[in-house]
Structure 1
Amino acid sequence: MPSRLVLTLWNAHRRAPGQALLMLLGLALSVAVVVAIDLAVDSARGAFLESRRALSGAATHQITADGGEVPMPLLAELRAQGLWRSAPLIEREVLHAGSGARLRLLGIEPLSEAALRPWLAGDMGGRSDEESAPLDPAPIDPGALIGRNDVVLLSQRLAARLKLAPGDALTLSVDGRREALRVLALLPDDRLPSGSGDWVLADIAAAQAITGLEGFTRIDLIADEARAAAIAQSLPQGLRLVATTEQDSQLAAMSGAFEINLKALSLLALLVGVFVVFQTLSFLALQRRRLIGLLRALGVSNRELGTLMLGEAALVGALAAGIGIALGIALGSVLLQGLARSYGELFYRIEVSALSLSPLLLGKAAALAIAGALVAVLLPLRDALGVPVLDALGRDSAGLRAPEQRLRALLLPAVVLFAAGLMLILYGPQGLFWGFAGLFACLIAALGLIPWAAGHALGALEAVLRDAPVRWRWLIAGTRRTLGRTGIALAALALAIATVIGMSSMIHSFREALSVWIDHSLQAQVYLSAGGRSALPEGLVEAAEALEGVEGIGLNRRSQRLPESGPVEVVGLQLPAQGRSGFELIAGADDPDLWSRFAAGEALVSEPLSQRLRLAVGDVFRMPTPQGQVDLRVAAIYRDYSSPQGVLTLDLARYQQLFGDRAVGALALYAPGSEAARLKTELEALIAARFAEHAGLQVVTAGEIRAISLEVFARTFAITDVLRLLAGLIAVVAVLGALSALAIERSREFALLRALGLAPVELSRLQRVQGAVLGLIAGLAALPLGLGLAVLLIEVINRRSFGWSMQLDLPWAQIASAIAISTLAAVLAAWWPARRSAGADLSRQLRGAGA
Structure 2
Amino acid sequence: VDVQLLRGVDRTAFRGELARELGLGFVLTEPADQEARTSNMSRAYRVNLNVLALVALFTGAFLVFSTQALSVLRRRSELALLRVIGLPRRNVLRQVLLEGGVLGVIGSLLGLAGGYAMAAAVLELFGGDLGGGYFPGVRPTVHFAPVAAGVFFLLGTGVALLGCAAPAWEAAHARPAQALKAGSEDVALSRLGTPWPALACLVLGGVLSQLPPVFELPVFGYVAVMLLLIGGIALMPRLAALLFGGLLAAVPAISRRTVGMLTFARLANAPNQAAIALGGVLSSFSLMVAMAIMVASFRVSVDDWLGRVLSADLYVRPAASGNTASLSPAEQKAIAATPGVAQANFLRNTQLVLDPARPPVVLLARPIDERDPEKVLPLTGDTAAPPAGALPVWASEAMQDLYGWRVGATVNLPLGGRNVPAFVAGIWRDYARQSGAVQMRLDDYRRLTADMLINDTSLWLARGTTPAKVIERLRALPFGGTLEFSEPGEIRAISLKIFDRSFAITYLLEGVAIVIGLFGVAATFSAQTLARAKEFGMLRHVGVTRRQILAMLAGEGGMLTLLGILVGFVLGGAISLILVYVVNPQSFHWTMQLHLPWSLLATVAAVLLASSAVTALVSGRYAVSGDAVRAVREDW
TM-score (norm 2): 0.89
| Cα drift, residue 417 of structure 1 | 1.6
1:492 corresponds to: 280
Residue 566 of structure 1: aligned partner: 358
Alpha-carbon shift at residue 685 of structure 1 (Å)? 4.7
Specify the alignment match of 1:501 in structure 2: 289
Structure 1 residue 797 and structure 2 residue 583: aligned? yes
Of 227, 231, 255, the match for 1:445: 231
Gaps of 5+ in 1: 1-215
Preserved contact between residue 775 and residue 824 of structure 1 (Cα < 8 Å): no
* CA distance 1:489–1:299, change in 2 (3 Å): same
1:307 corresponds to which letter in structure 2?
R
CA contact (8 A) 1:425 1:434 kept: yes
How far 1:737 sits from its partner (Å)?
A: 1.0
Question: Residue 827 of structure 1 is aligned with which of 613, 623, 636?
Answer: 613
Residue 340 of structure 2 is aligned to residue 555 of structure 1: no
Question: How far apart, CA to CA, are the structure 2 residues paired with 1:498 and 1:621?
Answer: 44
User: What is the aligned partner in structure 2 of residue 479 from structure 1?
Assistant: 267
The answer (yes or no) to whether the contact 1:285–1:380 under 8 Å persists in 2 is yes
SS of 1:643's equivalent? coil
Q: Distance in 1 between matches of 2:440 and 2:125?
A: 34
**Counterpart code for 1:574:** R
Local SS of the residue matching 1:242: coil
Assess if the C-alpha contact under 8 Å between 1:680 and 1:699 holds in 2. no
Aligned residue runs from structure 1 range 685-764, under 5 A: 685-687=473-475, 690-691=478-479, 693-694=481-482, 697-764=483-550
Equivalent residue, structure 2, for 1:586: 380
SS of 2:210's equivalent in the other structure is helix
1:417 aligned residue:
201
Question: Which residue is equivalent to 1:407?
Answer: 192
> Which deviations, in whole Å up to 9, do the C-alpha atoms of 1:360-384 show, x marking residues without a partner?
2222221222232233333223212
1:228 aligned onto 2:11 = yes
Equivalent-residue separation in structure 2 for 1:222 and 1:836 (angstroms): 81
CA distance in 2, matches of 1:313, 1:222: 63
What does residue 155 of structure 2 align with?
368
Asked if 1:275 is matched to 2:58, the reply is: no
In the alignment, is residue 519 of structure 1 matched against residue 302 of structure 2? no
Q: Please report how far the alpha carbon of residue 755 of structure 1 lies from its aligned counterpart in structure 2 after TM superposition.
A: 3.9
Write the deviation string for residues 367-405 of structure 1: whole angstroms up to 9, x where unpaired.
22223223333322321222123433x3254333121x1
**How many positions carry a matched residue from both structures?**
622
Q: How much does 1:560 deviate?
A: 4.5
Paired letter, 1:644: Q
1:64 corresponds to: none
The 2-side partners of 1:776 and 1:512 are apart by 29
**How far apart are 1:458 and its partner, in Å?**
0.9
More divergent stretch after superposition (570-579 vs 256-265): 570-579
The residue that corresponds to 1:57 in the other structure is: none
1:721 deviates by 0.5
1:33-48 equivalences in 2 (<5 Å): none
CA deviation after TM superposition for structure 1 residue 315, in Å: 2.7
In the other structure, the counterpart of 1:635 is 425
Is this contact kept in 1: 2:294–2:579, CA < 8 A? Answer: yes
Q: Name 2:120's counterpart in structure 1.
A: 333
Shift of 1:690: 4.1
Q: How does 1:56-455 map to 2 (within 5 A)?
A: 216=1, 218-220=2-4, 227-235=10-18, 236-237=21-22, 238-336=25-123, 340=127, 347=134, 349=136, 351-392=138-179, 394-403=180-189, 405-409=190-194, 411-427=195-211, 431-455=217-241
Cα distance, 1:669 vs. partner? 0.6
Structure 1 pair 654–582 and aligned structure 2 pair: CA distance change class (3 A): closer
Q: Is the 8 A contact 2:221 2:583 kept in 1?
A: yes
CA contact (8 A) 1:554 1:576 kept: no
Higher strand share: 1
CA RMSD for the aligned pairs? 3.0
Paired letter, 2:348: R
3-state DSSP of counterpart to 2:252: coil
Give the Cα separation in 1 of the matches to 2:450 and 2:163. Answer: 63
Alpha-carbon distance between aligned partners in 2 of 1:451 and 1:302, rounded to the nearest angstrom: 28
Q: Is the 8 A contact 2:384 2:426 kept in 1?
A: no
Query: Structure 1 residue 601: deviation in Å?
Result: 4.6
Q: Given the alignment, which residue of 430, 434, 437 partners 1:647? A: 437
User: Which whole-Å CA distance do the structure 2 matches of 1:703 and 1:223 have between them?
Assistant: 56
Q: Distance in 1 between matches of 2:629 and 2:26?
A: 90
Q: Distance in 2 between the 1:576 and 1:796 partners?
A: 31
Q: CA contact under 8 A between 1:450 and 1:491: conserved in structure 2? A: yes
Does 2:623 correspond to 1:837?
yes
* Paired letter, 1:550: V
Provide the rounded CA distance (Å) in 2 between the counterparts of 1:688 and 1:841: 89
Conserved in 1, the CA contact under 8 Å of 2:74 and 2:527? no
Cα shift at 1:347: 4.4
- Which structure is higher in RCO with an 8 Å CA cutoff and minimum separation 6? 2
Question: What is the CA-CA distance between 1:682 and the residue it aligns to?
Answer: 2.0
- Mapped partners of 2:480, 2:360: distance in 1: 33
Query: Where does residue 787 of structure 1 map in the other structure?
Result: 573
Q: How far, CA to CA, are the matches of 1:778 and 1:421 in structure 2?
A: 20
Q: Distance in 1 between matches of 2:132 and 2:317?
A: 16
User: What is the identity, as a one-letter code, of the residue corresponding to 1:736?
Assistant: A
Report SS of the residue matched to 2:383: coil
- 2:246 match: 460
Percent of counterpart pairs with the same letter? Answer: 26
Kindly state the Cα deviation for residue 344 of structure 1 after the two structures are TM-superposed.
7.3
Residue deviations 1:440-476, cap 9 Å, x none? 1122111101232122111122123323312211111
